[in-house]
């Protein structure tokens, strides 16, 4: 397995959502209605607080500068506190102000001679940026949940900096083959079991053991492939040999790390040891193309590539532009996730699906990590790093902080 990365992630592109507010603002400015973007005669002149931009005190009365939802900035108005019925936005404004002051360790309000109390421009600017970031992250979260096809919810959180949704990333639920690569996603045969846990099933036909126990936990050692029941099998969706194909069952959070590793992923619920957590998906490319892209990524200090080297080394998964939540999972030299090769409908051993299982109990709020140098066989060896002069690359420093840290990602 070659390194994959979240520490300098790319990530999001939904142009229609980005332009919606602009279109609404234009409609209201020109007094036009447009049902497709939610502007009707009934709400054309509606005013709803979107966020608060600034604060001042005039003659002992508190005022907030209001940005109205769906209206251009030119229509922002100062409103007395007593007229505002938005306690959550007021609390967010206060929190953002205090966060800024705690970061710079200074920033007292200016008190002019006319006894008007106002915020420093830098504080107001920061508060507006945080408000816009919060809206953008919420839209990104909504978009991710619209696109996912699994049970677990996806949340987004950034309490660290002003970074918004990454650009140029497209959320997908399964492999996306590059031009010229064909993925056959239809099995040629399936089992006729009435109870796949006890009868000779798909794993036995492939010459391996059933991967799961009765608690849906993986019981085979790393390096052993998983053969799940497929679309040709007569067993139903509750079959004990259909785990990975059901998708992520846990609610996860993409969050901004505080240790300089960019985005990361944490679980919001407890995950039992040896449980399936998520698949790793992306664009399937040839190894030759992976070598070309890898030099570009390494020179930028980022890593994205995952070699599909279960039996051969013909293909690689690139999660730089296309991927799912696993795109944001960071590396650790002491990980809590383990890689397994999975075969379901596509039985081509050159193109296994990549599944991540927990190596131990993972508590709610804990970051999810896996070893970028861990191969599907479970081995970690120098073979996964090419040191030949013709392919010498810039080494990426590891920031996992583990006691067993090897120092570099590649």
Taken in order of first residue, the domains within the chain and their CATH numbers are: 41-103+116-146 (2.40.50.40), 150-368 (2.170.270.10)
The more confident residue out of 383 and 361 is 361
The more confident residue out of 198 and 391 is 198
CA atoms of 278 and 248, how far apart (whole Å): 5
pLDDT of 246 > 80? The answer is yes
- Are residues 287 and 307 in contact, defined by beta-carbon separation less than 8 angstroms? yes
Instruction: Give the per-residue pLDDT at 39.
Output: 67
Q: Which residues are annotated as a binding site for Zn(2+)?
A: 191, 193, 196, 201-202, 229, 233, 235, 239, 333, 398, 400, 405
* CA dihedral sign of residues 374, 275, 243, 210: positive
Mean pLDDT is highest, among 150-159, 175-184, 196-205, for 150-159
Is 408 an active-site residue?
Answer: no
Q: Which residues are annotated as a binding site?
A: 191, 193, 196, 201-202, 229, 233, 235, 239, 261-263, 304, 330-331, 333, 398, 400, 405
Two tokens, residue 61: 């009365």
The more confident residue out of 182 and 394 is 182
Q: Given 100, 250, 297, 372, which residue is catalytic?
A: 372
Q: Which residues are annotated as a binding site for S-adenosyl-L-methionine?
A: 261-263, 304, 330-331
Segment 58-70, tens digit of pLDDT:
999 999 999 998 8
Give the lowest-confidence range in 104-108, 183-187, 238-242, 390-394.
Answer: 390-394
Instruction: Give the per-residue pLDDT at 116.
Output: 53
pLDDT band, residue 108 (cuts 50/70/90): low
pLDDT band, residue 42 (cuts 50/70/90): low
Mean pLDDT is highest, among 11-15, 104-108, 356-360, for 356-360
The average pLDDT across 88-101 equals 95
The more confident residue out of 246 and 47 is 246
Nearest to 5, CA basis, from 333, 340, 264: 264
CA atoms of 89 and 87, how far apart (whole Å): 6
Cα→Cα distances 299→1, 291, 293, 303, 392, Å: 19, 12, 10, 10, 11
DSSP letters for 164-208: -PPBS-EE-SS-EEPTT-------S-----S-TTTS--HHHHTTS
Is 171 an active-site residue?
Answer: no
H-helix segments, 68-119: 87-104
Instruction: Give the per-residue pLDDT at 71.
Output: 84
18 Cα distance to chain centroid: 19
pLDDT band, residue 2 (cuts 50/70/90): very low
Q: Given 51, 100, 280, 297, which residue is catalytic?
A: 280
Percent of the chain with pLDDT over 70: 82
The average pLDDT across 45-49 equals 79
Strands 322-323 and 170-171: parallel
Segment 206-234, tens digit of pLDDT:
999 999 999 999 999 999 999 999 999 99
């Amino acid at each position: 397995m070659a390194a994959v990365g979240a520490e300098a992630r790319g990530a999001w592109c939904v142009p229609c959502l980005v332009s919606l507010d602009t279109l609404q603002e234009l409609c209201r400015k020109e007094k036009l209605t447009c049902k497709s973007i939610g502007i009707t005669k009934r709400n054309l002149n509606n005013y709803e607080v979107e966020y608060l931009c600034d604060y001042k005190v005039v003659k002992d009365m508190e005022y907030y500068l209001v940005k109205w939802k769906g209206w251009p900035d030119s229509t922002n108005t100062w409103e007395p506190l007593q007229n505002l019925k938005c306690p959550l936005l007021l609390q967010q404004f206060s929190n953002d102000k205090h966060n800024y002051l705690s970061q710079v360790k200074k920033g007292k309000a200016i008190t002019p001679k006319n006894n008007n109390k106002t915020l420093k421009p830098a504080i107001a600017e920061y508060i507006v940026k945080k408000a816009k970031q919060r809206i953008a992250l919420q839209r990104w979260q909504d978009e991710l949940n619209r696109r996912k096809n699994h049970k677990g919810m996806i949340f987004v959180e950034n309490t660290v900096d002003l970074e918004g949704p990454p650009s140029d990333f497209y959320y997908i639920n399964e492999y996306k083959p590059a031009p010229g690569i064909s993925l056959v996603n239809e099995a040629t045969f399936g089992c006729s079991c009435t109870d796949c846990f006890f009868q000779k099933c798909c794993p036995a036909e492939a010459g391996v053991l059933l991967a799961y126990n009765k608690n849906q936990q993986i019981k085979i050692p790393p390096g052993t492939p998983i053969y799940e029941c497929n679309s040709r099998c007569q067993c139903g969706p509750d079959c004990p040999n259909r785990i990975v194909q059901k998708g992520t069952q846990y609610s996860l959070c993409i969050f901004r790390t505080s240790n300089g590793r960019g985005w990361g992923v944490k679980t919001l619920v407890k995950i039992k040891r040896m449980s399936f957590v998520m698949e790793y998906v992306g664009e399937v490319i040839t190894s030759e193309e992976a070598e070309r892209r890898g030099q570009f990524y390494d020179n930028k200090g980022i890593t994205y590539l995952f070699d599909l080297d279960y039996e051969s080394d013909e293909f690689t998964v690139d999660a730089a532009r296309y991927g799912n939540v696993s795109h944001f999972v960071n590396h650790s030299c002491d990980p809590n996730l383990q890689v397994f090769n999975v075969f379901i409908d596509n039985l081509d051993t050159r193109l296994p699906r990549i599944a991540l299982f927990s190596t131990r109990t993972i508590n709610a709020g804990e970051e999810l990590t896996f070893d970028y140098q861990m191969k599907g066989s479970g081995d970690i060896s120098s073979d996964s790093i090419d040191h030949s002069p013709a392919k010498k690359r810039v080494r990426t420093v590891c920031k996992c902080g583990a006691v067993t840290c090897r120092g570099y990602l590649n």
